[in-house]
Amino acid sequence: MTTIAGIGFASPWLLLALLALPLLWLLLRAVPPAPRKRLFPAVTLLLGLRDDDSLSDRTPWWLLLLRMLAVAAAIVGLAGPVLNPTTEPSGRGPLLVVLDGSWAGAPNWERTRDEMDRLLAEAGRADRAVALMRLTAPEAPVFQSAASWRRKLAGEAPLPWQPTTEQLATARAQIDAIDTDFDTVWFSDGLDYAEREALISQLAQRGTLIAYEHPQATTALRPVGHVDGMMEISVTSSQAVPSQVVTVLARGPDPGGTMRTLGSVTVDFGDTATIQDNGATATARLALPSELRARIRHFEIQGQRGAGAVALSDDSLRRREVALISSQSGNEGLALLSPLHYLRKALEPTADLLDGALSDLIPANPDVIVLADTARLPPDQESAVIGWVEEGGLLLRFAGPRLAASDTARTEEEPLLPVRLRIGGRSIGGAMSWGEPKTLAPFAETSPFFGLTIPADVTVSSQVVAQPDPQLASRVIAELSDGTPLVTRKSLGDGQIILFHVTANAEWSSLPLSGLFVQMMERLAISSGAKPPAAGDLEGTTWAPLQVLDGFGTLADAAALPGVSGPDLVEKPVGPDLRPGLYQSGERSIARNVLRADELLTPAEWPASVAISRYATAPERPLGGLLISLALLLMCVDVVAALALSGLLLKSGVSRRLSSFFLVATTGAALAVVQVSGAWAQGNAVPIDTQPDDIAPLHASELTLAHVLTGDRQVDAVALDGLRGLSDTLRFRTSVEPAPPASVDLEQDELSLFPLLYWPVTADQPMPSGNAYDKLNAYLRTGGMILFDTRDADITRSGASSPAGRRLQQLALRLDVPPLEPVPNDHVLTRAFYLLQDFPGRHTRGAVWVEAAPADAEQIEGIPFRNLNDGVTPVVIGGNDWAAAWAVDANGRPLLPVGRGFAGERQRELAHRFGVNLVMHVLTGNYKSDQVHVPALLDRLGQ
């Protein structure tokens, strides 16, 4: 490639054509433009006039220049110019491309791949055989043509681990097996790992070694820990850069299931960094409500890709809700004798404890209910607990004197006890019995406690004893050294019931005093460890991967990956056999992240003999397309300019169309240029966050009337104006002072802020979605009122036969509307504020329907109305077009005519009174109805 003035040319000989430009100049100048024919009646005056100059009008110099530029741009464009051409001399012989391919390279993966592509292209031009070797997944290098490697390049992705020692050993063996000498290019991710130096020296012996490395530091997120009820987030970086600030986001699903950022924290290396071994670690703390904390799925460093920038969360973040219930809760016993004292101490740091009566706690749906020494539950509570367990609850029961003394589960199995019990239990090694207190037998392999070490001082002196049963063996998960069951478990529905055959306090055994008790609670997923589990804690468990991370930090289903043993999960570095991700065993889950809590990132160091190449700052950029586009654009401009010169532009209709066509063509060409040069604009598009202003607080702080948007703009405007008129009336006449009314979109807006919704029904308004119906039904159930107005009482009386009426029927089909009746004379609507007999709006004849009075409503002696239903009617349906009667313009004058003359004004007044009564009814309920009882109440009070 020939380079002229910093720009390389693929076919420089084409540039010779530029020499022809002066010739073109002369040629273009010599040829006059074609004559135009014009009608001109005053030609008589022209006759005989001679031209001064025998030459015709020359093409103007700027147009000539334009054409020259266009031709020159085309010529140069065709010559294949390349900006920043690669001029490095390329070597000869086979080339081995070594690639770390770990998660640390993920943030710069695109550039790495582009650079590899460039390198391979260059090797292809030099006709070198190339082999590619990924150290994170080494395969025997095969030297092929560069083109075939380039095709495979697009499928390469970083893997979520660093090259392990075994993999490096494999790689070295494979490199040894290559029999020719070769040059090596090593794309490093910038992190050091074991055995790397050996590989470097091995490669350096075989040929030149060039290393590519990004200058940026690699940052990664460590597993999130807990300190003082807050989450401690630590970020480690391979280089200590005090100015570095990263933002860590806590992500998880919102109640709707969409992944959202639940919290964020800024980690500043300038403030909190501790610098070790050339790297640095900075920490920050994040406090979130436990509800939010339980939802967190993972933490991530904002704006950084890669598995290292993601820290998955597991059970350890979750605080379980444990309800503690003891039959002695009312007794004033000593604290240390309380059956729940030790449980409370064991669970307090890691779980949220709930106290109270069982009937109050079950609706709170705790994760665990602990029943200490409770023999039998009342039947209704028992069924409630069974239902709760079947839906996934964990019922943990402890034995005690009461259970031992009761006759529960003697002859047949109780649903809430895993086994049948013998009467009385037994005591061992007490003052009145022979034998020694029993110790625990080692846990069986099937037990969830398998692997826990049993302290020697744990003894059991009393217990309740299970009756032998066929299923007993399968239900025992811990037993005493003599084989009697100590802990039994059975499943019930989705949940399970666990019985400790000893008390929860130290009365019957020393188990609650030991650390084993806490570990057992953890194994049963009752408490979650505040500290990450140690290898010893997980001894004997096998963990199945649930979801695993890929190199970019994206979670994917684990599919058929094999399980991992507990200690390996905690101790081994991640690799192909232990991928970072979420692992599950039984009820518990553990997240394995790329970094362990104490792991550091060490930057890679290269011996002086290795040339380190940074990535090219300005990649090769062919300019040909750009220049040819420029030539096209100039030609389009030339067309327009030539037309303008000859007066054809914007003179007659045809040329106007022509010129607009050319303008479009020019714009199109310009756009094409923009696209061609799109490579120039590599800035990230910033997503514009257009969150609407939240007006809910405004509506919540003031009483606001609202209407439902129908989609008919005129109806909506009248409805809003009507509510404004009604609001004004209310403010002038009553102590209700509403805020300016609001328009409500059923699909999006919160309804619960509005006491009254005015819903004008149009014949063609769209049906609300199911979601909107849910909101509407909730609104009606919780005391909201909807005033449906079909606005057609002038043409129909019942409202059912008109189009709007039919639409209303369709709309209301899915609403929880109670049975209706026309407003009876003694309805509270007739006297909530004004005494009214009818309810005119803009029309007078329409019937108004409200919730029907119950059948047993009776007239009270001496009072002119019945004792009607207690609640407020959830819907009022009519067709009198009230909003039109209420509507006022900006100056407070009535917007629309009502009736004729004074009678019309009276009708409008009555419409306003109906509105006032309606709002009063909504706000005060049956207060007016109850007022009739005041004399009787006063009488009864003796006043």
Paired sense of beta strands 7-9 and 81-83, if any: antiparallel
Q: Which of 22, 57, 733, 740 binds other proteins (CB under 8 A)?
A: 57
CB 393 within 8 A of CB 371: no
Q: Could you tell me the CA-to-CA distances from 3 to 7, 108, 228, 335 in Å, in that order?
A: 5, 30, 65, 90
Cβ-Cβ contacts under 8 Å for 72 (sequence gap 6 or more): 18, 21
At closest approach, how far in Å is the CB of 39 from other proteins? Answer: 6
Q: Which of 23, 26, 39, 154 binds other proteins (CB under 8 A)?
A: 39
Closer by beta carbon to other proteins, 644 or else 932: 644
How many chain residues touch other proteins (CB under 8 A)? Answer: 29
Closer by beta carbon to other proteins, 48 or else 257: 48
Residue 34 interacting with other proteins (CB under 8 A): yes
Residue 62 interacting with other proteins (CB under 8 A): no
215 phi and psi, to 5 degrees?
A: -75, -20
The structure tokens listed for 382 are: 């028992």
The region of 31-39, 362-370, 550-558, 893-901 touching other proteins under the rule CB under 8 A is: 31-39
The region of 37-45, 134-142, 319-327, 761-769 touching other proteins under the rule CB under 8 A is: 37-45
The region of 33-41, 705-713, 864-872, 873-881 touching other proteins under the rule CB under 8 A is: 33-41
CB 911 within 8 A of CB 840: yes
Q: Which of 16, 55, 173, 664 binds other proteins (CB under 8 A)?
A: 55
At closest approach, how far in Å is the CB of 32 from other proteins? Answer: 6
Block residue for tokens 């260059």: 122
Q: Could you tell me the CA-to-CA distances from 569 to 236, 313, 449, 520, 572 in Å, in that order?
A: 21, 15, 18, 20, 6
Closer by beta carbon to other proteins, 334 or else 654: 654
The region of 52-60, 315-323, 366-374, 382-390 touching other proteins under the rule CB under 8 A is: 52-60
The amino acid sitting at 819 is P
Q: Which of 6, 19, 26, 37 binds other proteins (CB under 8 A)?
A: 37
At closest approach, how far in Å is the CB of 58 from other proteins? Answer: 10
The structure tokens listed for 616 are: 């090219």
Paired sense of beta strands 476-479 and 438-439, if any: unpaired
Closer by beta carbon to other proteins, 38 or else 940: 38
Closer by beta carbon to other proteins, 253 or else 647: 647
Paired sense of beta strands 555-557 and 542-549, if any: antiparallel
Q: Which of 49, 334, 855, 934 binds other proteins (CB under 8 A)?
A: 49
Q: Which of 5, 6, 13, 40 binds other proteins (CB under 8 A)?
A: 40
Measure CA of the first residue to CA of the last residue in the chain; give whole Å.
Answer: 112
Nearest by Cα to 382 from 352, 354, 405, 409? 409
At closest approach, how far in Å is the CB of 663 from other proteins? Answer: 20
The region of 26-34, 104-112, 115-123, 378-386 touching other proteins under the rule CB under 8 A is: 26-34
At closest approach, how far in Å is the CB of 50 from other proteins? Answer: 9
Residue 56 interacting with other proteins (CB under 8 A): yes
Paired sense of beta strands 495-500 and 485-492, if any: antiparallel
CA distance 508 to 428: 10
At closest approach, how far in Å is the CB of 62 from other proteins? Answer: 15
Cβ-Cβ contacts under 8 Å for 884 (sequence gap 6 or more): 718, 722, 791, 841, 842, 895, 896, 898
SS3 9: strand
At closest approach, how far in Å is the CB of 650 from other proteins? Answer: 11
Closer by beta carbon to other proteins, 55 or else 337: 55
176 phi and psi, to 5 degrees?
A: -60, -30
Closer by beta carbon to other proteins, 290 or else 646: 646
At closest approach, how far in Å is the CB of 66 from other proteins? Answer: 18
The region of 50-58, 241-249, 420-428, 794-802 touching other proteins under the rule CB under 8 A is: 50-58
The sheet with strand 621-622 has its strands ordered as: 2-4, 7-9, 81-83, 621-622
The region of 49-57, 450-458, 682-690, 788-796 touching other proteins under the rule CB under 8 A is: 49-57
| DSSP code of residue 336 | G
Residue 51 interacting with other proteins (CB under 8 A): yes
Q: Which of 23, 26, 53, 228 binds other proteins (CB under 8 A)?
A: 53
The structure tokens listed for 888 are: 């006022």
CA distance 423 to 406: 8
CA distance 195 to 207: 19
Cβ-Cβ contacts under 8 Å for 283 (sequence gap 6 or more): 232, 233, 234, 235, 267, 272
At closest approach, how far in Å is the CB of 30 from other proteins? Answer: 14
Residue 69 interacting with other proteins (CB under 8 A): no
Residue 45 interacting with other proteins (CB under 8 A): yes
Residue 44 interacting with other proteins (CB under 8 A): yes
Nearest by Cα to 462 from 410, 509, 397? 509
DSSP string covering 346-365, please? HHTTTEEEEES-HHHHGGG-
Q: Which of 35, 89, 215, 697 binds other proteins (CB under 8 A)?
A: 35
At closest approach, how far in Å is the CB of 55 from other proteins? Answer: 7
CB 763 within 8 A of CB 803: yes
CB 114 within 8 A of CB 36: no
715 phi and psi, to 5 degrees?
A: -60, -40
Block residue for tokens 């709707």: 256
At closest approach, how far in Å is the CB of 88 from other proteins? Answer: 57
At closest approach, how far in Å is the CB of 38 from other proteins? Answer: 5
At closest approach, how far in Å is the CB of 70 from other proteins? Answer: 22
Closer by beta carbon to other proteins, 32 or else 515: 32
Interaction residues for other proteins, span 631-670 (CB under 8 A): 645-647, 652-653
The structure tokens listed for 880 are: 């009198």
Closer by beta carbon to other proteins, 34 or else 431: 34
Residue 41 interacting with other proteins (CB under 8 A): yes
Identify the H or E element spanning 759: strand 756-760
Closer by beta carbon to other proteins, 32 or else 468: 32
Nearest by Cα to 766 from 710, 708, 706? 710
CA distance 665 to 566: 68
Q: Could you tell me the CA-to-CA distances from 64 to 28, 308, 644 in Å, in that order?
A: 7, 61, 15
Q: Which of 33, 242, 854, 897 binds other proteins (CB under 8 A)?
A: 33
Closer by beta carbon to other proteins, 31 or else 473: 31
Strand partners, 323: 354, 369
Closer by beta carbon to other proteins, 650 or else 936: 650
| DSSP code of residue 182 | -
Q: Which of 13, 38, 678, 855 binds other proteins (CB under 8 A)?
A: 38
The amino acid sitting at 667 is T
CA dihedral 673, 675, 678, 683 (to 10 degrees): 120
At closest approach, how far in Å is the CB of 771 from other proteins? Answer: 58
Closer by beta carbon to other proteins, 31 or else 739: 31
Q: Which of 5, 23, 42, 154 binds other proteins (CB under 8 A)?
A: 42
The region of 32-40, 132-140, 355-363, 881-889 touching other proteins under the rule CB under 8 A is: 32-40
Closer by beta carbon to other proteins, 43 or else 941: 43
**Contact residues for other proteins (CB under 8 A)?**
32-47, 49, 51-57, 645-647, 652-653
